[in-house]
A and B are shown apart, each in its own frame.
Chain A
Amino acid sequence: MKNFKYLSFLFLAITFFSCTSNSDSTPETAVDETLGLVKIQKLSNENHVIELYSETGVLTQGYNQISLRIKDKTTNKYITNASFNWIPIMKMAAMQHSCPRSGIEKISGKQTLYRGDIIFQMAQNDTDAWHLQIDYTIDDIKSNATSAIAVIASQKRTVNSFTGTDGVRYILAYISPKTPKVALNNMTVGLYKMQDDLITFNVVDNFKIKIDPRMPSMGNHSSPNNTDLLQSLSGGTYNGKLSLTMTGYWKINLQLLNATGEVLKGEDFATENLQSSLFFEAEF
């Protein structure tokens, strides 16, 4: 009986809605490609609105994967053939700098949605704020939009910005596992070098990152079968195996080694040195 009721509703629905949708013609908006994503904010100028999305809806210190789409204000349609470039800027009293970021590419299989990554090495604070400028080109017409963006501090250490013993300024960011498990996790980090202009950040190639995860709340025990993080492709991220033997709070002690094996930052764990100066944190 119950099933019959549902079936009749379904039948009614089909008869009504199938008629109306044929007369209207806005196929692009039929599917919301941002399903599962949360809007962060908009950047707009006279002609266009750029919407930023992520899984959480907020930008945080560290690695952020950002999806975006651009809408023509007059036609109210999302544009499918735009190309983008972006530059986040931290404006401080005495200086300004940018942060590591990827290019922006159309997400494969999507019509209107583009994606890129930004690694904020610091959060905003009372006096200093991040701004995002997005330059875009649609049908060979260049334009841009700028807005202040809110970057909140991360609860856990997910990014390290430091000067190595070689005098170079590095940014080391935790990318994955996004949701760590009691398992041999695939770990990915990004390693960048800041150029003197404070704006350009290049991927560092052929280095090595040693990991030593430990639990400070449980006598700083370690875990077995971790592997060093190495690049599989030049210009790419650093990947390895992160072993977490139980849930809880883990401090992932790190050491950065250059191509010749010299330690540029970070120390070995020892009873008199219970943590490396270079580390990430994970809690689950």
Chain B
Amino acid sequence: MITLSLPIYDIMKITATILLAAFSTICFAQKQEKDSISPVDLNEIIVISKKTPARLKQPKSLATVEEYLQQSSKVNMVRRGGYALEPIINNMATERTVITIDGMRIFGACTDKMDPVTSYVEVSNLSEANIASGQQGSCHGPTIGGSIDLKRANLNQKELGWNGAAKTGYETNNQHKILGTSIGFNDKSFYVNTDFTYRDAQNYKAGNHEEIDFSQFTKYNLSATAGFYLGKKGLIEGAVIYDKATDVGYPALPMDVSLAKATITSLRYSYTPVSSYFTNWETKVYYNTITHKMDDTKRPNVPIHMDMPGWSDTYGYYSKLKGRYENHHFMANLNSFYNKSIAEMTMYPSNPKENPMFMYTWPDVRTFYNGLYLEDGMQISPNANIKVSTNIGIHSNKVADEFGLQSLEIFYPDMNATKNRVLKSLAGNYILHHNKFEYGFGLAYGERAPSVSEGYGYYLYNSNDFYDYIGNPNLQNEKSFEANLSFGFKTETFTANLTSSFFHIQDYIIGKIDPNIQPMTIGGSGVKVYNALNYATIFNTDLNLEYKIAQNWYFKTLLAYSCGKDDDHNNLPFISPLRYSGNLQFKKENFNLGFGASGNLTQVKFAAAYGETKTSGYVIFNFNSGYTFPWNEKKLNVQAGVENIFDKYYTTFSDWNKIPRQGRNFFINVSYVLF
């Protein structure tokens, strides 16, 4: 702890203590308030497919999950092709974030992050995405950057009887065909719902009609949910998602994917007591299994043909209790998961008589986590709220495979197969409403364990910097000291929201070049071993403005600025340059129209020290329109639009190997309510 960050750490500690002290004082001092207070929610919610008022309806409802998430000012996407974009929250990627599906932990099975959790779900599975920044997101597990919880539809809210809908869509740029159905039945005592989505796309074309080879994909997603009411308070629900993608091209990578398959299952029991203290108790057990197979057989001029399959199985449960007492809204979440990650690499020499070259790139790493999250939101005065949350977890890694352990012992002769960690988190927020203004201030501390790749990866080739990465089982926990500020202003016609967050991350995990180790990959630049910087800092701020210009006319803008530095004042990689967007919308009854522009400024603060090069700015323009027709007493919704109207050829800071993004694209989405 005796580093440059000592003052910050101290300030944090002191403030946290003050907050806690204040919290406990208030607890005892406060008189019982009236029952009408609502819980403090600092999270951003992106509505995906719930029955929503027309005003909130998405202009392109069959967009991918990633497109939905990108609407958040906190979320960016690392793109390796036309499929399976990797979400980054507050400019932090998968290792520093927690992405859950209805609270379930799922871990991709690809060592090259070609299958983020979001790639195994479909918009048809989901009702909304709940995006939490920093330690606000530690409910489902330790995080640094934040969390995304993808919430499944709450089907029990629908009307009784059968319901069904058919959806279809087409996009011209990559001949992206979308077909979907959803059929359900609701009864007083039970409900069943199924949905199916099929997507198939050819290579996309960047601006100037440049075809991007190996950017095709095909995906099937099938989901079913069945619930039974147990009396008036209880509900038991089983759910399964089966997602299978085949023939997925990754033009920015040297390999494609022949199969990415996930089966995500859960059994949930929810109990809503009438007791005045507890409002809901929900327990879920879950299991998910992922198979991921990389494939290079279709690529020309491969230096050596290889197979790289990976498997990730996760078993887990959580039990979440929500309640309220006087002026408190509290929540406790006891949760646990057990994950098994294996990845292999087999290379086939050109001489068929030679033995294949085999290694474990993830040596059957077992991760066992047990955590308890506690949260209390309380109203301390008619216009002030405080929210305090804490998470404590016991995290254990074990290398279960002897072959894999011996492989890693080449680098770490004294390493143990097992490593245990305790992960702590504490966050406090203060929110003050004053007339049309809202002020928020928060401090937080959080820790995370290294990911499987960071701890135990074995010659993982990164095609962006051309280094082979080696995990490091001796890494310390990464520790984040976080401060956030928010400012809101709201009138009937104008809404402004400014949020800022600052992260001082100690023992920041990053690959460091080891000049003594030679790369394994043909053409590789060298080897990086995961190591820790003393610290790194990341600052994000975003401004959202929404203005109601006239009856039915709205104007929305977004401005996001980020900055990331290491302990030597070098820029960190994958930090967004200034990002902006503006959108003019017309919404009236069954009709909507939108015209927007979005872009980035030139990334001047690129991470030269980490091999990043400059990315130029860009701006693209989009147009969309939608109308809901009454048809046979049912509704037919048609949405159409054009993205990147001027067919701009561009790439962004988060495009792997600067692969260009999609050029002009016309889309049409049609959904029809069958019954």
Contacts and interface: CB of A to CB of B under 8 A. Distances in A.
A245 B516 contact: no
Contact of A215 (B303, B350, B357, B410): B357
A245 B355 contact: no
B406 A182 contact: yes
Interface in A242-273: 243, 245-249
Interface in B506-535: 516-523, 527
B403 interface: yes
B413 A182 contact: no
A248 B357 contact: yes
Nearest to B304: A218
B56 interface: no
Nearest to B359: A246
B470 to A, nearest CB: 9
Contact of B409 (A183, A221, A247, A249): A183
A284 to B, nearest CB: 7
B355 A249 contact: yes
B347 interface: yes
A182 B517 CA distance: 16
A168 B491 CA distance: 96
Contacts of A283: 354-355
A218 B347 CA distance: 9
A182 B409 CA distance: 10
Given A218-B520, A224-B516, A247-B355, A183 B407 contact: yes
Contacts of A249: 349, 354-355
Interface residues of B, number: 30
Contacts of B345: 246
Contacts of A223: 410, 518
B434 to A, nearest CB: 61
A245 B407 contact: yes
Nearest to B404: A182
A184 B356 contact: no
Most A CB contacts (10 A, CB to CB) among B407, B409, B411, B523 go to: B407
Given A181-B406, A218-B357, A219-B303, A245 B459 contact: yes
Given A219-B522, A225-B411, A248 B403 contact: no
Given A245-B459, A248-B358, A249-B354, A184 B349 contact: no
A80 B303 CA distance: 60
A216 to B, nearest CB: 9
Nearest to B470: A224
Interface string B549-578: 000000000000000000000000000000
A161 interface: no
B522 A184 contact: no
A247 B303 contact: no
Contacts of B409: 183-184
B301 interface: no
A224 B526 CA distance: 12
Interface in B289-310: 303-304
A248 B355 contact: yes
A182 B358 CA distance: 9
A219 B411 CA distance: 21
A222 interface: yes
Contacts of B516: 224
A283 B354 CA distance: 8
Interface string A111-139: 00000000000000000000000000000
Given A243-B410, A246-B357, A182 B518 contact: no
Given A224-B516, A245-B459, 8 more contacts: A183-B407, A217-B347, A218-B520, A224-B411, A243-B410, A245-B407, A246-B357, A248-B355
5 A-B pairs closest in CB distance: A248-B357, A183-B406, A217-B349, A219-B522, A246-B359
Interface of A: 181-184, 215, 217-219, 221-225, 243, 245-249, 283-284
Interface of B: 303-304, 345, 347, 349-351, 354-359, 403, 406-407, 409-411, 413, 459, 516-523, 527
